[in-house]
Structure 1
Amino acid sequence: MNSLIIAVYEVRRLIRSRGVLLNLFLLPLVIIFLLGSALSGMFNTTELSGETVKVVVAAEQTEPALKMLETYVSNPEVAKRIRMEKAASRQEAEERLRSGSADYAVLIPDGFGSAMQRGDEARVMLLPGKDRTLNRSAGLVLGSFVEEINYRQAAAIVMGPEAAAQPAFAPGEASTEGGPRSYVQAGQLGTGVNTYSASQYYAAAMLIMFLFYSGMAINTSLDLEKSGHTLQRLHSLPVTYSSVFTGKLLGNGFVAVIQALVIVGFSHFVYGVDWGSRLPLVLLIAGLVILVSMSLSVVLSLLFPNGATAKALLQVLIIAMTFLSGGFSPVPGEFMRQLSLFTVNHWAFQGLLRNMLAGELNVVMSSIVPLFWIAAACLLLVVIVYRKVGYRE
C-alpha cells in the first residue's frame, strides 16, 4: 500500500513538471515530424546497384528451369546486372557464398521442371550473400524470373501441362514504345516498394530513444530524495526503503507506458505512421525497452551515489546505442552493423521495422526474443545490485 501511495505521488509530480511534458512527450513528436518530412525522399526510392552480381546456380544440367534461367540471364539488360556461374551441388554454392566468391545463390531442386509442368508444388530457393546492396540488386532482377515460374506453374494448374511451356509473353513481344520488351528496366521505383517511410523509420527510432530518456527520469527521482534529505524522514515513518524504491519504479514506469501510448497513437492518427497490424507486438517491444531503460538507470544510480555522474553515463549510453543502431541515419558499413548487434536499440528497432513491413511472425519474434532475454538479465542485475548496495542515504 505504501508503494502504491508513493507511486501515485510520483506520477503527479512528473505530470505537473513542464520539463517532463516538453522533453518526454512533446519533443519526440516534433522530431518525428521534422525528420519524417525533411528526409522523406531518402526512404522512398530503391536503386539497383551498379555492380555486377555474381550469382551461383546449383541445378542438374538437364533441368528445364536451368535453361529458362540461362535464357533469362542472356537478356542484355539482365546481363548488365547478373553474371551467372554454375555449381556442382548445393553444398558448393553455399560454400562459395560463405567464402565470398559468390554474391548470391539460386538453388533449383532435382525434378523442379517436371513438378512445375504437372502443377505440383515446386520451389526455387534464393540465398542472399554478405552484401545487402548486392542482395537487393539480385533480388530485384531475379524477381521477374520467379514471377515467370509462378506464371507457368499457375498455368499448368489451370490449363494443363501444355500451358506451362508457354512464357508469360513472347521473348520478342513489342512494348508500348514499339521496341522489344525486356524483363528488366533500369531506373528507380518510387511506389509499390515494400519498405518503410521516413516517418515510420524515425517514429520507431525516437520511440526507443525517448523511452530510454523516460527511464532516466528514475535516476533524477531517486537522487532527489537523497539530495533533499527526505529519504531518511520517510524511513522514520512506517515506510521501508524498499517501499520507497518500489513506489518510485512503479510511478516512473507508469509514466513511461503513457509516453509510449501517446507517441504511437499521436504519430499514427496525426502523422499517418503505420505501425503494422500487430499493435500488441509494438506495445510488447515498448514495454521491454522500458524495463531495460529503467533497470540500467537504477543500476547506475545505485552504483554511483553522485546523481550527475550516473546521469552523464546514461546520456552517453543512450546516444551511443541510438547512433550504432541506426536511429539517426541508416548504419553504414558492415563493421558498424556488427557493432549494432550489441545494443538494445538494435533489437527493438528491427522488431518495430519488421512489424511495420508486415513481416512473418517468426521474423518479428527473432528480434523480440533477444530483447526479452536482455530485459530479464537487466532485471536480475537490478536485484543483485540492490541487495548489495541498497537504496538509502
Structure 2
Amino acid sequence: MNSLVIAVYEVRRLIRSRGVLLNLFLLPLVLIFLLGSALSGIFNATELPGGTVKVAVVGERAEPALKMLETYVSEPEVAKRIRTEEAASRQEAEEMLRSGSADYALLFPDGFGSAVQRGEEARVTLLPGKDRSRNLTAGLVLGSFVDEINYRQAAAIVGGPEAAVPAAAPSGADAASAPRSYVQPGRLGTGIETYSASQYYAAAMLIMFLFYSGMAVNTSLNLEKSGHTLQRLHSLPVAYSSVFAGKLLGNGFVAVIQALVIIGFSRFAYGVDWGNRLPLVLLIAGLVILVSMSLSVMLSLLFPRGATAKALLQVLIIVMTFLSGGFSPMPGEVMRQLSLFTVNHWAFQGLLRIMLAGELNGIMSSIVPLLWITAACLLLMVVVYRKVGYRE
C-alpha cells in the first residue's frame, strides 16, 4: 500500500512537470514529424539509386564470361540499370573511371572462362567509381551475375568440367513453358515493399525516448536524497524498499502512457502504419521500458552523484541510438556487427519487421534476444540493489 501511494504521488509529480511533458511527450512527436517529412523522398524511393550505370568491361572478346555478361545485361530488367562499354585494358578502365566516362568497371583476366569450367581458381575484379549510389546499383545488379559464375565454378569442382556448362535451352512445346528470363522483379516479405521515413523515425524515436523516460528514474531517486526527504520517509513506518518500488511503479506507468501516446498520435495524426501486430509492438515497448529503468537504477545506485549517472545514461542512449541506425541507416559490416550489442538494435529491427508485415518467426528472432537482455538487466538491478541499497 505504501508503494502504491508513493507511485501515485510520483505520477502526479511527473505529469505536473512541464519539462516532462515537453521532453517525453511533445519532443518525440515533433521529431517524428520533422524527420519523416524532411526525409520522405529518400525513404519512399521505389527505384535503386543512380539510374543507368555505365560499366567498363575488360576481357578477351572470345571469353565465355563476356558472352554470359552480354546475355545477362540484355535482360529487360538489367538493361534498365546497366550499360556496358568495352575497355582495352585495366589502365583504360581506370582512366574511364577517373574521367567519369564510366561509373564502374568489370575486369576478366585472360583465360577466366576456361579456368571456371575446369574448377580452377579464377577471380573477376570489380572497380567502383566516384559515385556511391551508382556503385551500389552496379554492385546489386551485377551480384547475380557473379553468383552465377561462382555456381558454375563450384559445379565444375564437384562434377567436372561438363557440370559447369549450362544445359541446352528447351525447344518445341517445352520452350513455351520454360522461363523467359533469369531476372524477375519481386517483393521482399509478404506485406508492403519498404518502410517510410515516418515509420522509420517513429520506431527510432519511440525507443530513444523510452530510454529517456527510464532516465527519469535517476532524477526521481536522487531527488529524495538531495532534498533529504528519504530519511524522513524512513522515519515513518515506510521501508526504503517501499519508496524504491513506488518510484519504479510511478515512472513505469508514465513510460507506458508515453509509449501509447507516441504510437497512437503518430498513427492517427501522421498516418504511421505500425503493422497488424499491435500487441507485439506494445511488448517491445514494454521490454525497452524495463531495460531503460534497470539501467537507470543500476547507474543511480552505483554512482551516488546524480549528475554522473545522468551523464553516463545520456551517452549510453546516444551511442546505442547511433549504432542501431536510429539517426540514419548505418552502412558497413563493422557498424552492423557493433549494433548487435545494443538494446536498440533488437527493438528497432523487431518494430520494423512488424511494420513490414514480416513473418512471425522473423519478428520473434528480434524479440527473443530482447527478452534475454531484459531478464539479464532485471537480474543485475536486483543484485546491485541488494549490494548497494537505496538510502542516504
The reply to whether TM is greater than 0.5 is: yes
Secondary structure of 2:256's match? helix
Q: Do 1:48 and 1:136's aligned partners in 2 also have CA atoms closer than 8 Å?
A: no
Cα distance change of structure 1 residues 170 and 359 upon mapping to structure 2, 3 Å threshold:
closer
TM-score between both structures, scaled by the size of structure 1? 0.70
Map Cα deviations across residues 23-53 of structure 1 (whole Å, 9 max, x no partner): 100110001000100110110113167598x
Q: Do 2:206 and 2:262's aligned partners in 1 also have CA atoms closer than 8 Å?
A: yes
**Could you tell me which residue of structure 1 aligns to residue 97 of structure 2?**
none
Secondary structure of 2:326's match? coil
**CA shift for structure 1 position 333:** 1.8
**Could you tell me which residue of structure 2 aligns to residue 306 of structure 1?**
305
Map Cα deviations across residues 236-276 of structure 1 (whole Å, 9 max, x no partner): 11110000000000000000000000000000011000000
1:296 aligns with 2:306: no
**Could you tell me which residue of structure 1 aligns to residue 131 of structure 2?**
none
Q: Do 2:192 and 2:357's aligned partners in 1 also have CA atoms closer than 8 Å?
A: no
1:374 aligns with 2:384: no
**CA shift for structure 1 position 350:** 0.6
Secondary structure of 1:315's match? helix
1:35 aligns with 2:41: no
Cα distance change of structure 1 residues 390 and 321 upon mapping to structure 2, 3 Å threshold:
same
**Could you tell me which residue of structure 2 aligns to residue 221 of structure 1?**
220
Cα distance change of structure 1 residues 351 and 169 upon mapping to structure 2, 3 Å threshold:
closer
**CA shift for structure 1 position 370:** 0.7
**CA shift for structure 1 position 338:** 1.2
**Could you tell me which residue of structure 1 aligns to residue 11 of structure 2?**
11
Q: Do 1:48 and 1:137's aligned partners in 2 also have CA atoms closer than 8 Å?
A: no
**Could you tell me which residue of structure 1 aligns to residue 132 of structure 2?**
none
CA distance in structure 1 between the aligned counterparts of 2:371 and 2:83, rounded to whole angstroms = 41
CA distance in structure 1 between the aligned counterparts of 2:54 and 2:333, rounded to whole angstroms = 18
1:332 aligns with 2:325: no
Identity level (%) = 75
Q: How many residues align?
A: 310
Cα distance change of structure 1 residues 341 and 229 upon mapping to structure 2, 3 Å threshold:
same
Map Cα deviations across residues 81-115 of structure 1 (whole Å, 9 max, x no partner): 899x9989xxx9xxx9xxx9899xxxxxxxxxxxx
**Could you tell me which residue of structure 1 aligns to residue 346 of structure 2?**
347
Question: Any runs of at least 4 consecutive aligned residues in structure 1 with deviations exceeding 6 A, and if so which?
Answer: 69-72, 85-88, 100-103, 131-135, 138-142, 168-171, 182-185
AA matched with 2:22:
L
Cα distance change of structure 1 residues 359 and 166 upon mapping to structure 2, 3 Å threshold:
same
**Could you tell me which residue of structure 2 aligns to residue 259 of structure 1?**
258
Secondary structure of 2:346's match? helix
AA matched with 1:249:
L
Cα distance change of structure 1 residues 252 and 318 upon mapping to structure 2, 3 Å threshold:
same
* 1:1-393 mapped onto 2 (5 Å cutoff): 1-45=1-45, 46-47=47-48, 50=53, 73=72, 75=74, 78=78, 80=82, 137=141, 165-166=175-176, 194-393=193-392
Q: Do 2:287 and 2:371's aligned partners in 1 also have CA atoms closer than 8 Å?
A: yes
TM-score between both structures, scaled by the size of structure 2? 0.70
Q: Do 1:141 and 1:184's aligned partners in 2 also have CA atoms closer than 8 Å?
A: no
Secondary structure of 1:272's match? coil
Q: Do 2:69 and 2:145's aligned partners in 1 also have CA atoms closer than 8 Å?
A: no
AA matched with 1:333:
G
Map Cα deviations across residues 134-193 of structure 1 (whole Å, 9 max, x no partner): 785479999xxxxxxxxxxxxxxxxxxx9874259989xxxxxxxxxx9789xxxxxx97
**CA shift for structure 1 position 73:** 2.9
Cα distance change of structure 1 residues 274 and 297 upon mapping to structure 2, 3 Å threshold:
same
**Aligned residues: CA RMSD:** 3.7
Unaligned 5+ segments in structure 1 are 53-68, 104-130, 143-161, 172-181, 186-191
